Structure 1
Amino acid sequence: MNDASLADNPFAARYARDFAASPRNAVIDTLLAHRSWRAFKPDPLPAGTLETLIAAGQSAATSSNMQTWSVVAVEDPARRAELLKLGENQKQILEAPLVLCFVADLSRLAAIADRINHKRAGLDYLELFMVAAIDSALAAQNVCVAAESLALGTCYLGVLRNHPEEVAAFLKLPPMAAVTFGLAIGFPDPKRPANIKPRLAQGSVLHRETYDAAQALAPVADYEVALDAFNKRERNGQPLWGLRSSARVAGPESLSGRDRLKFALRQLGFPLL
């Protein structure tokens, strides 16, 4: 199923099969139309776009209103060219006029507690890093949806976790701050389109009342057929989803350097007790 289906039934486009669901509105249509754009036009973003996107990000839920995230906007072409090296030459970093580096940031709370001479040992625990990482993800997804509602394209950049210390140094982050991922934002290049990638059937991810392990696996075979057809249309040559996903978790060597992430985070000031 191609993107032509989206106009009539965005649910069908998302699942690559007939799918009846309601209610539906413009916000839901924007969400269902998400795809990762890896090709951007060089056009700059309109004035005020960055500030609007950050306002959307700050409107996301945040644990106990602690707001344990920050973002570094990288717009300068020369800086993006440097970031490209840390991003292992993912070209969207250079093509997109804006790259947002989302930060799990406990440094601000640490500084506030120090300023009022208050204890802050709780920041040393894994729970607080989890809070900060989740806060950054919630904010980023709000930014992503806001950008797409403005006809902009986006692409998440998990690759920035491959070199956490180098990225932190590049952005001049203080201790107790680490980049969780980046987000490239710009006007999509229609000459190099991105299509809607099918997702697992809801039966695999939606459980009612209790988790059903058999139900989680049942739709996978059909999904692999649908995704394989999509990959062939996209000519990206990817193997079947189960094989590709299993390869990503086969061992520490398959984690692209992120097997040392706990060590790197401790180097960046997170004790992770």
Structure 2
Amino acid sequence: MNQVIKTILDHRSIRKFADKALTEEQIKTIVQSAQAASTSSFVQAYSIIGVKDKQKKEKLAELAGGQAYVAENGHFFVFCADFYRHQLIAEMYNQDLDEVLESTEKFMVAVIDAALAAQNAVLAAESMGLGAVYIGGLRNKLEEVCKLLKTPARVVPLFGVAVGYPLAQPDQKQRLPYEHVYHEEEYEQDQEAYILQLKQYDQDISRYYEKRTNGKRNDTWTGQMARLLSNPTRMYMKEFVESKGFNKQ
């Protein structure tokens, strides 16, 4: 196993960081690694906003639901879907590109581009001995996040990534079984086998929580998902995304 694969397989979310800022060199390396990710048709439909200011990070932590590690980290990155520069290109060439830029396809391109870039960034950070955690909670109150970060039209903050020096290394959560995720030639639809795999996975996750909490918690994964998906959240998103010039077509 080479070092790249080892770094990938060793991933776990870090939520406690030392009070030590990343250097400018570290930040630049992480961003350049993000930029090295694949991008659909070279469109590069994303931007990254770095946040150092303590008060601004504390406000983002509040907007994200009170997650302390949004404020307490070495550096906070916000990954955005971004067609602002492409709107400027339309004006440079005196073209009306609204129909294309506002399409669902281009919104998917921007989201995928940003996600690929972010995963590269996290992998780079982890290879440098740093830790990271993704923050989807920014989407709780996106209007306020946009105002705080002064994002223009055709830019939507998608998620944050807190990066820093880990204070603890939590146990790694086991992922779904390989056979449950990987299908060959066609999608396997044997429901009986599927449910059996889920039940076996539930046992693994329950043991993980029991060990991590000294027996105080023994959740199953399917139980978590049933509760999570029965509680509608961020249902304003379609309207908000459209208001920013995305996903209208």
TM-score (norm 1): 0.86
Inter-partner Cα distance in structure 1 for 2:108 and 2:37? 16
Greater relative CO, 1 or 2 (CA 8 Å, sep 6+): 2
Inter-partner Cα distance in structure 1 for 2:244 and 2:95? 22
Inter-partner Cα distance in structure 2 for 1:243 and 1:72? 36
CA deviation vs aligned residue, 1:19-46 (integer Å, no higher than 9, x gap): xxxxx21101000000001111101213
Inter-partner Cα distance in structure 2 for 1:263 and 1:230? 39
Inter-partner Cα distance in structure 2 for 1:77 and 1:271? 34
Equivalent residue, structure 2, for 1:202:
178
Matches within 5 A, 1:87-166: 87-120=64-97, 121-166=99-144
Is 1:248 the counterpart of 2:228? The answer is: yes
Give the counterpart letter for 1:123 in structure 2: L
Inter-partner Cα distance in structure 1 for 2:63 and 2:244? 17
Q: What is the deviation of 1:75?
A: 1.1
Q: How many residues are treated as equivalent by the alignment?
A: 244
Unmatched runs of 5 consecutive residues or more in structure 2: none
CA deviation vs aligned residue, 1:182-235 (integer Å, no higher than 9, x gap): 000000013xx3221101110100111111022544421111111111111111
My pick for the range that moved more, 180-189 or 80-89, is 80-89
My pick for the range that moved more, 49-58 or 80-89, is 80-89
1:205 and 1:216 in contact (8 A); partners too? no
Inter-partner Cα distance in structure 1 for 2:218 and 2:58? 28
Task: Name the % identity.
Answer: 33
Inter-partner Cα distance in structure 2 for 1:272 and 1:220? 37
1:56 and 1:143 in contact (8 A); partners too? yes
Matches within 5 A, 1:2-41: 24-41=1-18
Matches within 5 A, 1:186-225: 186-190=164-168, 193-214=169-190, 215-225=193-203
Q: What is the deviation of 1:237?
A: 2.6
My pick for the range that moved more, 107-116 or 237-246, is 237-246
Equivalent residue, structure 1, for 2:158:
180
Equivalent residue, structure 1, for 2:217:
237
Unmatched runs of 5 consecutive residues or more in structure 1: 1-23
Change (3 A) 1:123 1:47: closer
TM-score (norm 2): 0.94
Equivalent residue, structure 2, for 1:7:
none
